[in-house]
Structure 1
Amino acid sequence: MTYEAFGAFETGHWPARRTAVLDWLVTGTRDERYLDVIFVELCRRLEHSGLPVARAAMFLETQNPQWLGVRVLWRRGLTQAELRPSDYDTRETDAFRFSPAAAIRAGADVVRARLDGTDPADDAYPLFGELRREGITDYVAWPFEFTLGKRHFITFATDRPGGFADEDVGLLADLLPVLAGVTDVRLKNRLARTLLDTYVGPHAGEAILAGATRRGSGFTVEAAIVIVDLRDFTTISDLWPRDDVIALLNDYFDALSDPIERHGGEILKFMGDGLLAIFPDDAASAVGAVADICRSMAALNQRRVAEGRGALGYGVGVNYGDVMYGNIGSRTRLDFTVIGPAVNVASRLETLTKEIGSKALFSGAFVAKARCAAALKPLGAYPLRGVGRPLDVYTFAEEPA
């Protein structure tokens, strides 16, 4: 195998010599999924080879919906890397503006500083003072260049008296293009999973990554189905400024999503002002999730009223049954979702909440499966559109508080 396969030709830097660590990066990391494990092993092997690395870090942009990126930090003696996410506003802070990372982002090819008092550059950034107090004597940082021009950031530091030798720096530079290739593959794998988890949910994402991408493919699953809808959203969206509507929806979906995920449910989709979630094989957990949704919405409405804004109305419909879970759509655009009569019943129950004034309604089929009759009370049998016979309907015995 040649090093070209790992992108060395893209960085403009060719390894000056072949080493055991370089060979390991090329051939010995194939079966390791986790990047932080590879990074720790790399630093351990560098130490074992005599290269005096005391501290190393990678700063990677991850395109996570919550985080700009992550710092992967290793220090001598650690058997695991420290992972620290960074906020999207990190680049607006003074800590970033006056840092080697900002210099690399601005186009610097390398940032190097001797921190033992022999180099005037050792006071260029506040970070260098912190490293000096840790006993670091030398620091070097490079851009970490991936495919399609994506630029990340990597650093190595030593506490050896006199710092890194020129040969040490050369050996580290030789590793970068291969390490970048190894890292790029795993970061893209992580990105693919993050995007799928974000847009279709973790269970559906796992199925898609496992190969469930053919239209019509899927399987039958027993699940509790939860459908939530916001009241009067059309009026709100017509009258309110766009940014206010988006902020309202984000607050509303936070109030719904946190309880569902905390109780083990999976959100399959947001439908405008609505939400579809399932609890596979675990109806009882859905009761706690819906109760917490009611509490969370009550807290949100309390804040809104205190701010001089109106409370939000909503309805929740809950059913249990068999659903088809899989790919539906056109030849080129698919949706991984659930369909079936059980979903339709949950939707009809949500609609019924408007008529009878209950925030949450549960089907008799759900109550029988969840065995939660003590927490719910019967309201009688109601005819539902598209359902052949009146359906036994329940709501909370006491308002969740």
Structure 2
Amino acid sequence: MTNHETPPAPSGIVDWLIGPARQNATPEEVVGGVAERLVESGVPLLRVRIGQSVANPLISAWGVIWSREGGPESYTVPRGMLATGSYEGSPFKHVITTRKSYHRSLENLVTGQDHAVLFELAESGSTDYLAMPVAYGDGSVQACAFTTDRPGGFSDSEIGLIESLAPAIGAALEPAAMRHSMASLLQVYLGSGPAERIGKGAFRRGQTTAIDAAVLITDLRDSSGMSERLDPDTLLKRLDAYFEVVVDAIRAQGGDVLKFVGDGVLAVFPADEEGSRPEACRRAARAVLDAFACPAAAGMRFVAALHVGPVVYGNIGSLDRLDFTVVGPTVNYLSRLEGVAKTLDRRAVCSREVAAVLPDGATRSLGSQTLKGFAEPREVFELWLPDGASS
């Protein structure tokens, strides 16, 4: 490592981090702002990466990578990745477990001794690597890494400058990370639409919105029998596989999964604009067909029902326990349609209102059916499946 002279950092970098950046900057803006200000001060950065652990059942971490050519971009780390070789023995693990910085020249790496990630960085043009801990107020430690492509690497003064920013970086990133993690967790448990609404302040009981939407419900057949035949672990794996098939299909078509009720899935496809009801119905129907056509659904027996109409969308519940869901006559009618699907042994049914806006040939009438709670019989339609079969 050589001692290149570096101009002092801009006097406002710490003030920016603990002021405007801490108050309202996104993680991408924080990381990008730090990198750009360091470059302005003369530090020849090639790449900056800051990772964040997160309390989320689907991902173990997320973070931001800034590059000289591309700017800042966010990324996520799937849950389970921390148990692989990409994390074990890595500089990030060293920083997090020891709470100390890790510095390594990338110009003289040793095969079998240095971690694979360092070789990858060297192959991409980096000559020096510095990882340091960033402590948060809750006691957790996050890791951030800086690389340069200058021959000889960072100077001692540059390393000192970067490390001196750790407290201010932590002050700026912690609230941004909390906002990001909260939004991520809400989305996992509530769906994108509800998470966005609650994030914007719609979290009080009675805060509801009347919307027009296509509503979908699915239900697994013979779940009671499976619970008796299968051991708990096998049963849960079957349920998870079924939920994954249905939820992936719903999300791919822009729907929001509102809840799991036993082995049932309730989802909504909002008609966001006037006149978009047909499109909401088509997306909901496509989600059903895609779920049944998914190779992973082979051997699964579940039913689906579709209806469309006005629903009340928002928070309901007791004083200290709320649920974000949809209620109203449209939802009540949907549950009756699901019962018809089971009674008639059909995999997918829909109401007349849905059938009326789907393409010709997408449905066929099953005639007038008596629905519990409704005085007059209602016409019910079968949604044709990808293979043309009816059950």
Which TM-score applies when normalising by structure 2? 0.87
Contact 1:229 1:316 survives alignment (8 Å): yes
Alignment pair present for 1:90 and 2:81: yes
Contact 1:139 1:156 survives alignment (8 Å): yes
Alignment pair present for 1:245 and 2:235: yes
Q: In structure 1, which of residues 186, 200, 207 is the aligned counterpart of residue 197 of structure 2?
A: 207
Quote the Cα distance in structure 2 between the aligned partners of 1:292 and 1:270: 17
Q: Which residue of 2 aligns with 1:136?
A: 126
Q: Which residue of 2 aligns with 1:400?
A: 386
Q: Tell me: CA distance 1:53–1:359, structure 2 relative to 1, closer, same or farther (3 Å).
A: same
Quote the Cα distance in structure 2 between the aligned partners of 1:333 and 1:19: 49
Q: Which residue of 1 aligns with 2:53?
A: 61
Q: In structure 2, which of residues 288, 302, 307 is the aligned counterpart of residue 293 of structure 1?
A: 288
Q: Which residue of 2 aligns with 1:163?
A: 153
Residue 249 of structure 1 and its aligned partner are, at CA, apart by 1.0
Q: Which residue of 2 aligns with 1:339?
A: 327
Residue 71 of structure 1 and its aligned partner are, at CA, apart by 4.3
Q: Which residue of 2 aligns with 1:73?
A: 65
Q: What count of residue pairs does the alignment treat as equivalent?
A: 375
Q: Which residue of 1 aligns with 2:39?
A: 47
Alignment pair present for 1:280 and 2:266: no
SS in 1 for 2:104: strand
Quote the Cα distance in structure 2 between the aligned partners of 1:110 and 1:149: 17
Contact 1:115 1:122 survives alignment (8 Å): no
Q: Which residue of 2 aligns with 1:114?
A: 105
- Per-residue CA distance 1:323-343 (angstroms, 9 max, x = gap): 111111111110011111111
Residue 359 of structure 1 and its aligned partner are, at CA, apart by 1.2
Residue 86 of structure 1 and its aligned partner are, at CA, apart by 2.2
Quote the Cα distance in structure 2 between the aligned partners of 1:384 and 1:347: 10
Contact 1:137 1:162 survives alignment (8 Å): yes
Quote the Cα distance in structure 1 between the aligned partners of 2:378 and 2:368: 5
SS in 2 for 1:148: coil
Q: Which residue of 2 aligns with 1:4?
A: none
Letter in 2 for 1:386: G
Q: Greater shift after overlay, 271-280 or 356-365?
A: 356-365
Q: Which residue of 2 aligns with 1:388?
A: 375
Q: In structure 2, which of residues 207, 221, 228 is the aligned counterpart of residue 231 of structure 1?
A: 221
SS in 2 for 1:214: coil
Q: Which residue of 2 aligns with 1:8?
A: none
Quote the Cα distance in structure 1 between the aligned partners of 2:77 and 2:215: 35
Letter in 2 for 1:379: L
Contact 2:306 2:350 survives alignment (8 Å): yes
Contact 1:382 1:392 survives alignment (8 Å): yes
Contact 1:72 1:83 survives alignment (8 Å): yes
Quote the Cα distance in structure 1 between the aligned partners of 2:123 and 2:235: 49
Contact 1:328 1:335 survives alignment (8 Å): yes
Segments of structure 1 that go 5 or more residues without pairing to the other structure are 1-15, 304-310
Quote the Cα distance in structure 2 between the aligned partners of 1:82 and 1:322: 39
Quote the Cα distance in structure 2 between the aligned partners of 1:268 and 1:166: 54
Quote the Cα distance in structure 2 between the aligned partners of 1:220 and 1:129: 56
SS in 2 for 1:248: helix
Residue 367 of structure 1 and its aligned partner are, at CA, apart by 2.8
Segments of structure 2 that go 5 or more residues without pairing to the other structure are 1-7, 272-276
SS in 2 for 1:213: coil
Q: Tell me: CA distance 1:382–1:111, structure 2 relative to 1, closer, same or farther (3 Å).
A: same
Q: Which residue of 2 aligns with 1:195?
A: 185
Which structure carries more helix by proportion?
1
- Per-residue CA distance 1:107-142 (angstroms, 9 max, x = gap): 24111223445x999964344344444443432211
SS in 2 for 1:315: strand
Q: Which residue of 1 aligns with 2:4?
A: none
Q: Greater shift after overlay, 80-89 or 200-209?
A: 80-89
Alignment pair present for 1:29 and 2:21: yes
SS in 2 for 1:155: strand
Alignment pair present for 1:105 and 2:96: yes
Quote the Cα distance in structure 2 between the aligned partners of 1:394 and 1:135: 62
Quote the Cα distance in structure 1 between the aligned partners of 2:315 and 2:127: 57
Residue 153 of structure 1 and its aligned partner are, at CA, apart by 0.6
Contact 1:114 1:121 survives alignment (8 Å): no
Quote the Cα distance in structure 2 between the aligned partners of 1:193 and 1:158: 33
Contact 1:292 1:400 survives alignment (8 Å): no
Residue 288 of structure 1 and its aligned partner are, at CA, apart by 4.8
SS in 1 for 2:21: coil
Q: Tell me: CA distance 1:64–1:298, structure 2 relative to 1, closer, same or farther (3 Å).
A: same
Which TM-score applies when normalising by structure 1? 0.85
Contact 1:257 1:267 survives alignment (8 Å): yes
Contact 1:378 1:393 survives alignment (8 Å): yes
Letter in 2 for 1:290: A
